[in-house]
């Protein structure tokens, strides 16, 4: 059972406003990177959930292998079609070296870490690209302090009103860059950019308002997501 | 530092235990006096007899409890360590700080480090010595328990390191995984697992060798997930382990 099983059935519902806001930021952040996906070869979507490679990167879903450690996430319907679904954790990937031309990990805070990034580097072909997004440290640090939860935990409130605490890694952009280098990526092939909520988004989660208030800035001026593009 | 910290732990425990009995005796004496004054001679006699038997029992009971918690032979070893370690404590702590600074791609503020020394301890059950670890330094970092704690060699990633004489690591992604694997794989009881730092997610145990024998383990853990093994620079850690070994040898600890 994966940790996110407990929230799988409702993770994609509109009631989880913060997640939906992050979707908007991710969509906008990754739009310029569509052309960076290699035109051929397999794509591994790590922590896929119901799959978002087509939505975020406009790729052929027949190239996509969806991997998640939550059986309930992999069973969600509706979902993006794919070549194969694999039930497995992200810390060690069950694939040979150089199997994929592209690896994606959208909002990968649930499983990102040195081991996971090292594995992503290992399964990428030479010249292959890792494209990912991660909730920003700037957003999460003040929010989690305010909520009284640990830095490496997030909290969901489910449909029944119960609070659920789940693993979620927050790291600064500079540490993320160091981690990618330790994982094997060359420094000059790593790009990390910071992204904010598009001003077209009118319904904003209270969990974005809170840190914006702490930092005395508008919700549209707060860095919410890091976008990662790293080429092997 | 309180005066009590200068007294060996076994003796400290024995003194505290006797103090408790003494206070109970004084309070009982007061009640006996009150009862006598009120002419409740029978009740006063009953309390006096109870106190008498309790005093006799204390001599036996306190020794049994003390021996069970702090076997005399084990205590001798610990007292000897408590005398020798302070001479190299600063250097050892500095070495641990250096080790933390060699870690790559992680937030070192989330890392805690200490040194576990292999010793022979004696349980109250028999006279046979068994290997165990004594934590000889307080943690360098924000988490972890205080020093002089004893961990049986059958437990934890440090126990695994003792058995393999190789660096060992473990990662837990959630607190549920921590609770399960600490019991199933690392020899702790569920209660013991809950008494440790449950927010830690990534652990590293590095052997300190002397002539191919393991004498201690450098122990690191991070609350940040998946730090080890990637963050560890084995060459630097081996160098630090040699330095620690030399320090322990020079101080006569080994």
Tell me which chain B residues have a C-beta less than 8 angstroms from the C-beta of A187.
none
**pLDDT attached to residue B8:** 61
Question: How many independent structural domains does chain A possess?
Answer: 1
Test A181 with B201 for CB contact under 8 angstroms. no
**pLDDT attached to residue B143:** 79
B140 contacts: CB under 8 Å, gap ≥ 6: B93, B96, B97, B100, B112, B113, B114
**pLDDT attached to residue B1:** 46
User: Are A98 and A38 in contact, with CB atoms under 8 Å apart?
Assistant: no
Roughly how many angstroms between the first and final C-alpha of chain B, as a whole number? 27
Indicate whether A115 belongs to any domain: yes
Indicate whether A64 belongs to any domain: yes
Write the residue in A112, A115, A167 that is nearest to B230 by C-beta.
Answer: A115
Indicate whether A176 belongs to any domain: yes
Higher pLDDT, B151 or A116: A116
> Quick one: tokens of B162?
């003792």
Q: Give me the CATH number covering residue A131.
A: 3.40.50.150
Per-position DSSP letters for A72-105, written without gaps between them: HHHT-SS----SEEEE--SSS--S-TT-EEEEEE
Q: Using N-to-C axis directions, what is the helix angle for A206-214 and A137-147, rounded to 10°? A: 100
Boundaries of domain holding A68: 5-136+170-197+223-231
Tell whether omega for the bond before A78 is within 30 degrees of 0, i.e. cis.
yes
- B contact test, residue of A115, A137, A168, A185 with most B CBs within 10 A: A115
Q: How many residues does chain A have?
A: 232
Tell me which chain B residues have a C-beta less than 8 angstroms from the C-beta of A113.
171, 202, 224-227
- B contact test, residue of A46, A114, A118, A178 with most B CBs within 10 A: A114
Residues 125-144 of A with CB under 8 A from B: none
Average pLDDT over residues A57-76: 96
The ipTM is 0.86
The verdict on A152 touching B (C-beta cutoff 8 Å) is: yes
Test B230 with A150 for CB contact under 8 angstroms. no
Indicate whether A43 belongs to any domain: yes
Roughly how many angstroms between the first and final C-alpha of chain A, as a whole number? 32
Nearest chain A residue to B177 by CA: give it: A3
Indicate whether A211 belongs to any domain: no
Q: What is the pLDDT of residues A122-176, one digit of tens each?
A: 999 999 999 999 999 999 999 999 999 989 999 999 999 999 999 999 999 999 9
Secondary structure element (H or E) that encloses residue B91, with its range: helix B89-102
Test A115 with B201 for CB contact under 8 angstroms. no
Q: How far is CA B52 from CA A13, A67, A180, B21, B134, in A?
A: 73, 73, 72, 12, 40
Residue A105 φ then ψ, to 5°: -155, 100
On the question of pLDDT at A1 being above 90, the answer is no
Write the residue in A91, A150, A183 that is nearest to B171 by C-beta.
Answer: A91
Write the residue in B171, B176, B199 that is nearest to A115 by C-beta.
Answer: B171
Test B225 with A183 for CB contact under 8 angstroms. no
Strand-pairing partners, residue B150, are: B134
Indicate whether A164 belongs to any domain: no
- A contact test, residue of B102, B175, B177, B230 with most A CBs within 10 A: B230
| Domain range list for chain B | 3-70, 73-250
Indicate whether A158 belongs to any domain: no
Residues 162-191 of B with CB under 8 A from A: 171, 173-174, 176
Q: What is the pLDDT of residues A2-58, one digit of tens each?
A: 889 989 999 999 999 999 999 999 999 999 999 999 999 999 999 999 999 999 999
Per-position DSSP letters for B180-239, written without gaps between them: HHHHHTT---HHHHHHS-TT--EEEEEEEEETTEEEEEEEEEESSTT-TTTT--HHHHHH
On the question of pLDDT at A89 being above 60, the answer is yes
C-alpha span between A114 and A136 (Å, rounded): 17
In tens digits, what is the pLDDT along chain B, a chain of 254 residues? 455 555 666 677 778 878 888 888 889 889 899 999 988 999 999 988 988 887 777 777 777 777 666 666 677 777 788 888 888 999 999 999 999 999 999 999 999 999 999 988 776 666 677 888 989 898 988 777 778 888 888 899 999 999 999 999 999 988 889 999 999 999 999 998 888 878 899 999 999 999 989 999 999 999 999 999 999 999 999 999 999 999 999 888 87
Test B107 with A152 for CB contact under 8 angstroms. no
**pLDDT attached to residue A3:** 86
Instruction: Kindly report the CATH class assigned to B73-250.
Output: alpha beta
Indicate whether A143 belongs to any domain: no
3-state secondary structure of B123: coil
CA distance B248 to chain A (A): 33
Question: Would the CA dihedral through B17, B20, B26, B28 be positive or negative?
Answer: negative
Residue A207 pLDDT grade (very low, low, confident, very high; cuts 50, 70, 90): very high
The verdict on A48 touching B (C-beta cutoff 8 Å) is: no
Q: How far is CA A78 from CA A23, A74, B251, in A?
A: 17, 11, 68
> Quick one: tokens of B155?
């437990």
Higher pLDDT, A223 or B136: A223
Write the residue in A111, A116, A175 that is nearest to B107 by C-beta.
Answer: A175
Question: Would the CA dihedral through B18, B23, B26, B32 be positive or negative?
Answer: negative
């Amino acid at each position: 059972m994966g940790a996110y099983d407990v929230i799988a059935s409702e993770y994609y519902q509109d009631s989880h406003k913060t997640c939906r806001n992050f979707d908007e930021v991710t969509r906008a952040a990754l739009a310029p990177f569509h052309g960076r996906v290699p035109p051929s070869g397999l794509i591994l979507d790590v922590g896929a959930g119901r799959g978002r490679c087509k939505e975020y990167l406009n790729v052929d879903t027949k190239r996509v292998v969806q991997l998640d450690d939550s059986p309930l996430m992999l069973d969600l319907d509706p979902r993006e079609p794919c070549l194969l679904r694999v039930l497995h954790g992200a810390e060690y990937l069950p694939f040979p070296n150089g199997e994929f031309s592209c690896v994606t990990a959208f909002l990968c805070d649930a499983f990102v870490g040195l081991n996971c990034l090292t594995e992503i580097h290992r399964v990428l072909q030479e010249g292959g690209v890792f494209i990912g997004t991660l909730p920003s440290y700037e957003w999460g640090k003040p929010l989690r302090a305010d909520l009284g939860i640990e830095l490496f935990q997030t909290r969901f409130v489910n449909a029944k009103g119960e609070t659920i605490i789940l693993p979620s890694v927050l790291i600064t952009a500079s540490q993320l860059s160091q981690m990618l280098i330790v994982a094997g990526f060359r420094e000059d092939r790593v790009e990390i950019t910071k992204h904010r909520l598009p001003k077209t988004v009118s319904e904003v989660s209270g969990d974005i308002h809170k840190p914006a208030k702490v930092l005395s800035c508008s919700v549209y001026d707060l860095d919410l997501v890091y976008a990662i593009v790293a080429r092997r | 530092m309180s005066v009590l910290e200068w007294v060996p732990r076994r003796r400290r425990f024995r003194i505290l235990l006797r103090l408790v009995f003494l206070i109970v005796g004084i309070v009982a004496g007061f009640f006996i006096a009150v009862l006598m004054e009120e002419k409740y001679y029978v009740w006063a006699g009953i309390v006096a007899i109870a106190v008498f038997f309790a005093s006799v029992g204390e001599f036996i009971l306190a020794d049994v409890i003390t021996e069970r918690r702090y076997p005399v032979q084990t205590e001798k070893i610990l007292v000897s360590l408590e005398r020798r370690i302070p001479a190299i404590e600063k250097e050892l702590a500095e070495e641990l700080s250096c080790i933390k600074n060699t870690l790559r791609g992680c937030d070192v503020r989330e890392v805690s480090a200490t040194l576990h020394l292999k010793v022979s301890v004696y349980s109250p059950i028999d006279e046979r010595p068994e290997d165990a670890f004594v934590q000889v330094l307080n943690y360098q970092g924000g988490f972890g328990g205080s020093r002089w704690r004893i961990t049986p060699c059958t437990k934890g990633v440090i126990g695994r390191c003792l058995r393999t004489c190789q660096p060992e690591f473990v990662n837990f992604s959630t607190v549920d995984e921590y609770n399960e694997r600490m019991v199933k794989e690392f020899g702790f009881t569920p209660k013991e697992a809950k008494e440790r730092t449950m927010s830690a997610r990534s652990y590293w145990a590095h052997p300190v060798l002397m002539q191919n024998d393991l004498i201690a383990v450098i122990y690191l853990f991070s609350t940040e997930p998946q730090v080890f093994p990637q963050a560890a620079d084995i060459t630097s850690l081996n160098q630090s382990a040699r330095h620690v070994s030399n320090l322990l040898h020079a101080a006569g600890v080994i």
